[in-house]
Amino acid sequence: MGALTQHTWIDLGAAGDVPRLGARKFRLGNETVAVFRTSADEYFAVIDRCPHKGGPLSEGIVSGRTVACPLHGWVIALDNGRAVAPDEGCATTLPLRLVRGRLHLGLRCKGAA
């Protein structure tokens, strides 16, 4: 999939600023992006909106590669945004990479491809 997609990368800041087993929020236009950090120091970027009723995922409890939404407890996989069964739905994930200790968020750039 990635071969044809071109990204521009935005520097979000130092990875170390995101608390372990927690998240930080970044405003991007009208959206809020939550960057999560797992106990194994993996980082994931997800639009901060629960597929259920829009709850702020960034406030949820992180464990393994999941976060539990604070409003009604749906569990969302951080790597692909999918709600863990029995719930159904998908949060939007965004590409994220770690460059020399800094977080770079990938945005699809129009017109490239």
Q: From the list ligand FES, another protein, none, which binds 93 (C-beta under 5 to 8 Å, kind-based)?
A: none
Give the contact letters, 52-71, x = binds to ligand FES (CB under 6 A), - = no. Answer: xxxx-------------x-x
Using rule CB under 6 A, residue 81 touches ligand FES: no
The β-bridge partners of 62 are 67
DSSP secondary structure code for residue 41 in this structure: -
Structural tokens at position 13: 């800041």
- Looking at residues 34 to 93 of the shown chain, list those that interact with another protein (rule: CB under 8 A): 38-39, 53, 55-56, 59-64, 66, 68, 70-71, 73, 75
Position 96 contacts another protein (CB under 8 A) = no
Using CB under 6 A as the binding rule, whether residue 47 contacts ligand FES is answered as no
Q: How many residues bind ligand FES (CB under 6 A)?
A: 10
Beta strand segments in the chain, E: 7-14, 22-28, 31-37, 43-47, 61-63, 66-68, 75-77, 93-94, 96-99, 102-108
